[in-house]
Structure 1
């Protein structure tokens, strides 16, 4: 059911977390400051000191003051250890986002990009780990959209005279076989998890038309990472090979948006969720499936 003005309904747990985030700092500071004041008073007001066993009062007061002063620093340090709510990260940081996503009961990961190699490596280890220790996770859904390497392409392609792109079917075929291997490996892991019974899982690759321009990762429909490949990046497979236009996903910087950010961030997350849902519904199923 939708909330007011057509927005999503707020659950009781979410409301509790909001109240906690709002009032916890104030209550904690008040308690620490109160303990300090009482302890310090005990040093100069004899009845209070006697009641609190005066010799220990000053130490407690000083300790409370230190806690009061350090409280904000500790909170900032804890915040810095979490995933950034928004900003910019590198593709090699994907592992922390995958790990965070797998703390949920329902894990939903969506990807659109080139071959998805960076994400594949992280997913493989996480799915394999679920066989021994599923933790809170009970269902995993992974959808990966890659270019249709069976079609003629300008990127990836061979670098021709004067830098002109030249379609290279053999190079495209090598990339397709790599993605086929990723798809089959993750699918087998998903089947094993489902057979064991503690976790149900599904992993699937599909084709989208066009060149690999955008790199998009969506985690549990709450976090969106988006970047642009360097489409003119070149590589040489072997010393005897020609150059190829071959985007390097691990070098791609990614902008981060989260649903619990400001209104603009929420709108971006909703837009990308819908866009990848729509692309998936139109995407072609690979011939190897």
Structure 2
């Protein structure tokens, strides 16, 4: 019934609105120039009202287009530095599910760590927390991250990859420890798991409670120098990545995109290799 009413409104609202505006305009003119009608309606401000109605009629389509463009706001862009507010909003639900696919996930990790730490002893209404990280398989040779070779060619660097793996391993163990501590009572359960995907870190994806997704592309040509005398490395900077987001509060297009991203991540997660760093967090 609700969908039928929406279709009816979308079909007939413009026609009815135009008819009303034209009716007001015509009545105003008639009242201004036909004295009996004007006397009957007791006033001489009809011309002004008629002109305003005509302006409204002319601007009606423009205003509708403007309203439609404003409804596209849920597909706006945000900075990776703004992830904190999305984490905070996600933790307002009773069941929290946050999924990440990308490079090391450092920006998101920092926000999650402080949020989970603050929950110790006071979880509030939260009953369940599930955190999923998909990171590159740093055990395999890679073109990004890698060392910058002659003429800018990528050269696989096992030591550099190993450092990134250790970094992610530390994030996983600290989040796992917090999740274990939160799950110790009977009020809630918490789980954090890391898995590997093959290939280079091209996409950055964050999904919050399956209701909002952020997606951006890493700058694969970004370089870093670890020491003044050392080599350069291809090392994407996630905190500089702009993210486009789709929300369940948005348009039908946004909702369709959200469903597609959720399925895409779930499929990748099911196919991904489990990390050897820990065996899960739920007792």
TM-score, normalising length from structure 1?
A: 0.70
Match of 2:54 in 1: none
Among 115, 119, 124, the residue aligned to 1:130: 119
Separation in structure 2 between the aligned mates of residue 112 and residue 255 of structure 1, nearest angstrom: 15
Unaligned runs of 5+ in 1: 6-83
Partner of 2:160: 171
1:244 and 2:233 aligned: yes
4+ residue runs over 3 A deviation: none
Task: Determine if the alignment matches structure 1 residue 110 to structure 2 residue 99.
Answer: yes
Report whether the alignment pairs 1:253 with 2:265: no
Which region of structure 1 is more displaced relative to structure 2, 144-153 or 198-207?
Answer: 198-207
CA drift at 1:4: 10
Query: Which residue is 1:214 aligned to?
Result: 203
- Normalising by structure 2, report the TM-score: 0.72
Residue in structure 1 matching 2:128, options 139, 144, 147: 139
1:196 Cα deviation (Å)?
3.0
- Based on CA coordinates, which of the two structures has the bigger radius of gyration? 2
Counterpart-to-counterpart distance in 1, 2:158 and 2:177: 28
The CA distance in 1 between the partners of 2:74 and 2:244, in whole Å, is 11
Bigger relative contact order, structure 1 or 2 (CA pairs below 8 A, ≥6 apart): 2
Correspondence for 2:179? 190
Work out whether residues 173 and 277 of structure 2, in 8 Å CA contact, stay in contact via their aligned partners in 1: no
Q: CA deviation at 1:133?
A: 2.0
Secondary structure of the 2:74 match is: coil
Structure 2: gaps of 5 or more residues: 4-72, 279-283
User: Does the Cα contact within 8 Å between 2:213 and 2:247 map onto a contact in 1?
Assistant: yes
Among 67, 86, 103, the alignment partner of 1:97 is: 86
Give me the whole-angstrom Cα distance separating, in 1, the residues matched to 2:244 and 2:134: 19
Q: CA RMSD in A?
A: 1.5
